[in-house]
Amino acid sequence: MIKKNYLISLFAFGCLCLNVSAQNQTDEPKGKAIVQVFGNFHSGFGHENDNRGFELDRSYLGYQYDLGKGLQIKGVMDIGQSDDVNDYHRIAYIKNAQISWKTGNWTLTGGLISTTQFNMQEKFWGYRYIMKSFQDLYKFGSSADLGVSASYAFTDWLSADAIIVNGEGYKKVQKQDGLMYGLGATLTPIGGLSLRVYYGLNEGANDIQKDKQNLATFVGYKGNGFSLGAEYNLYKNVDFMEDSDLSGFSLYGSVRLDKKTEVYARFDSLSGDGDWNKSKEESALMFGAQFKLGKYVKIAPNFRMNMPKMDGEDNRYMGYISCYFGI
């Protein structure tokens, strides 16, 4: 009887081990869903008092799958709003449809890919659902485009990357013959410190159009519970027009108060040569706090002040409650 019970117990234990092993093999994810939703409630103050309401700013829906041997595919839909329809309709675009291959120190990516112009700055800023990074916000370039990119890690602290894309961004098809070329280098000489420089050239399609050029520089430091970042950006021949140049800088930082609470602040300044873009030139200040509500939800109340550089324009004051859901 004892022997029989022993055999039954041993059989049950063996079945349990096999079941756990099978679950581990079955449940091990080779892919993951991409779901991100950005929303807010905002209200103006003073002469902006009538600017208030709820806004579903952007949604990203997609999937990423590891094929093995360094191969990965990713597809992402971007659902947002367009100025072309006065924000009355939602517009959906394919933002990413790419394949990547990592082999040794190389990473090669092709398709509708994420660009390298300000990808690092956006990740370091870390609050994309609250506000775009400087170059994205002021349209110095697009965050995705159709083409190829390659990066190589020379050491643990030095890497370089190159990209060739159409130059129109992911929301437009190729309409002109010119391509955009970009080269970048990233240094991480000591723990927490990151430096990056990037140069891009977007060809004009004819003799009248001047090549667009971008120079982006960045330095950032992440310490124990805080981060500080600074970037300077130069955009020459905006819209392929000679002597239509923009430049600006962005300073930002954050402090983690506890596991669920952070405070952050940012200051931007955009300037241009001459008066061709004077109505859009400004300085902007933003500060607030972020609260994590569980694993998937963040809420971030923040205050914003925009200070136009055109004479006679009043400052604009806005309060936001920004919300994020993501898995």
Say what the pLDDT of residue 16 is: 36
Do residues 278 and 263 touch, judged by C-beta distance below 8 A?
no
Say what the pLDDT of residue 10 is: 35
Say what the pLDDT of residue 118 is: 97
Say what the pLDDT of residue 67 is: 93
CATH topology classification for 46-326:
Porin (2.40.160)
* Amino acid at residue number 93: Y
* pLDDT one digit per residue (tens) for the chain, 327 residues: 433 343 334 334 343 333 434 344 444 558 999 999 999 999 998 766 678 899 998 999 999 999 999 999 999 999 987 666 555 677 899 999 999 999 999 999 999 999 999 999 999 999 999 999 999 999 999 999 999 999 999 999 999 999 999 999 998 877 667 899 999 999 999 999 999 999 999 998 888 899 999 999 999 999 999 999 999 999 999 999 998 999 999 999 999 999 999 999 999 999 999 889 999 999 999 999 999 999 999 999 999 999 999 998 999 999 999 999 999
Domain boundaries, the chain: 46-326
pTM here is 0.87
Say what the pLDDT of residue 207 is: 81
Say what the pLDDT of residue 83 is: 63
Say what the pLDDT of residue 35 is: 97
Neighbour-count burial of 81, counting CB atoms closer than 10 A to its CB (0-12 exposed, 13-18 middle, 19+ buried):
middle
Say what the pLDDT of residue 46 is: 78
